[in-house]
Amino acid sequence: MKVVDSLCQSRSFENEIAICFVNCCGKLSNKKDYDVLLARTQVCYPFYGCIKKLYKNKEDLLIFEYNKTIIEDSRNAYQLFK
Q: Model pTM?
A: 0.81
Higher pLDDT, 34 or 49: 49
The confidence score (pLDDT) of residue 77 equals 87
Number of domains in the chain: 1
Q: What is the mean pLDDT of residues 41-63?
A: 92
How many angstroms separate the CA atoms of 67 and 48, rounded?
Answer: 12
Q: Is the pLDDT of residue 19 over 80?
A: yes
Q: Is the pLDDT of residue 80 over 80?
A: no
Expressed as residue numbers, the domain containing 42 is 2-78
The confidence score (pLDDT) of residue 53 equals 94
Q: Whole-number mean pLDDT of the chain? A: 89
How many angstroms separate the CA atoms of 43 and 51, rounded?
Answer: 6
- Which positions ≥6 away from 45 have C-beta within 8 Å? 12, 18, 51, 67, 70, 71, 74
H or E stretch covering 8: helix 2-15
Candidates 15, 78, 81, 4; CA nearest to 45 is 15
